[in-house]
């Protein structure tokens, strides 16, 4: 375990500079594809008219344009049937000009998001959440990695936080963040290779694990669940889970943790920017693989 350090102001770990470094790399790779005659395309599917989801799609389309991607979009009505959504996904699967597909989550309650995810061709799974992609991650094989876990690994590496050989505790076991993050950070790689423990609601005294960790990553989606008494002085704290109340973002990490942690992601602008950046890194990788299988 690393040396304990008492602090009153934790070093911030912003995501924006990490994302900009990723975008610079993606821009070069997109330019190379376009020079070779391929325009990488990230297609999006939106069901319904949820304002937040529509805003996310607009943001992603603008970023796609900035990076040189094509961004075809399918907008289905809120009362679209399972067959309608399947047909939309099938049309994008069959289009050789589309290299990556994103179905914006959440979708209306009468539709099954997991079923929609399964419908996506794994070769176009930009979110890295298809069971095939998660299986490749578990086996240590190349493939799209879930965006938030990949962004957290990149964030720690960018800010020079040692991970290899360290005690990392992931609070949360969800399939989009906690579980794939644990697999990712345990892999043998310079920016990973950690001793990873996953704790969750089924662990009665989960804080005894987080209090000994060098790095604590909150990935639950329960506002304020990680408090100062749950971490040791000088630990690195990453807030990966959030919940929204309207437009208000409620992070897993209580702001008072800044007085104890040695380094911490900001309440806004931490993992969010890196997640979006990794979406486009996955997209360009899928385009490259489609072009040069």
104 is an active site residue: yes
Active-site option among 104, 125, 214, 252: 104
Q: Are strands 11-12 and 263-264 parallel, antiparallel or unpaired?
A: parallel
60 is an active site residue: yes
Cα separation, 206 vs 236, in Å, equals 17
Q: Helix (H, G, I), strand (E, B), or coil: what is residue 62? A: helix
CB atoms within 10 A of CB 83: 8
Identify whether 244 is preceded by a cis peptide bond (ω within 30 of 0): no
Cα separation, 279 vs 103, in Å, equals 12
Taking Cα atoms as reference points, which of 199, 147, 202 lies closest to residue 173?
Answer: 199
Active-site option among 125, 127, 214, 254: 127
Residues 6+ apart with CB under 8 A from 72: 41, 43, 44, 92, 95, 98
Active-site option among 60, 124, 125, 252: 60
Active site residues: 60, 104, 127
């Amino acid at each position: 375990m690393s040396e304990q350090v008492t602090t009153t102001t934790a070093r911030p770990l912003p995501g924006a500079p990490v994302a900009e470094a990723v975008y610079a790399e993606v821009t070069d790779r997109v330019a190379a594809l376009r020079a070779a005659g391929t325009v990488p395309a990230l297609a999006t599917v939106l069901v319904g008219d949820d304002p937040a989801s529509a805003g996310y799609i607009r943001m992603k389309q603008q970023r796609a344009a900035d990076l040189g991607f094509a961004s075809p979009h399918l907008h289905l009505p809120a009362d679209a049937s399972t067959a309608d959504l399947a047909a939309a996904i099938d049309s994008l699967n069959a289009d050789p000009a589309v290299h990556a597909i994103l179905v914006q989550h959440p979708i209306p309650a009468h539709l099954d998001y997991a079923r929609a995810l399964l419908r996506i061709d794994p070769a176009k799974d930009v979110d890295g959440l298809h069971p095939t992609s998660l299986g490749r991650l578990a086996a240590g094989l190349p493939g799209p990695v879930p965006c938030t876990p990949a962004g957290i690994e990149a964030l720690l590496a960018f800010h020079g936080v040692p991970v290899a050989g360290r005690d990392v505790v992931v609070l949360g076991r969800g399939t989009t963040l906690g579980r794939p993050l644990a697999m990712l950070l345990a892999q043998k790689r310079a920016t990973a290779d950690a001793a990873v423990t996953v704790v969750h609601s089924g662990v009665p005294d989960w804080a005894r694990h987080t209090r000994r960790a060098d790095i604590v990553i909150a990935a639950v989606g329960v506002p304020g669940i990680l408090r100062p008494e749950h971490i040791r002085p000088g630990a690195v704290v990453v807030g990966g889970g959030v919940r929204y109340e309207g437009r208000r973002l409620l992070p897993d990490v209580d702001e008072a943790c800044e007085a104890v942690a040695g380094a911490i992601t900001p309440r806004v602008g931490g993992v969010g920017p890196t997640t979006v950046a990794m979406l486009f890194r996955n997209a360009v990788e899928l385009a490259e693989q489609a072009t040069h299988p």
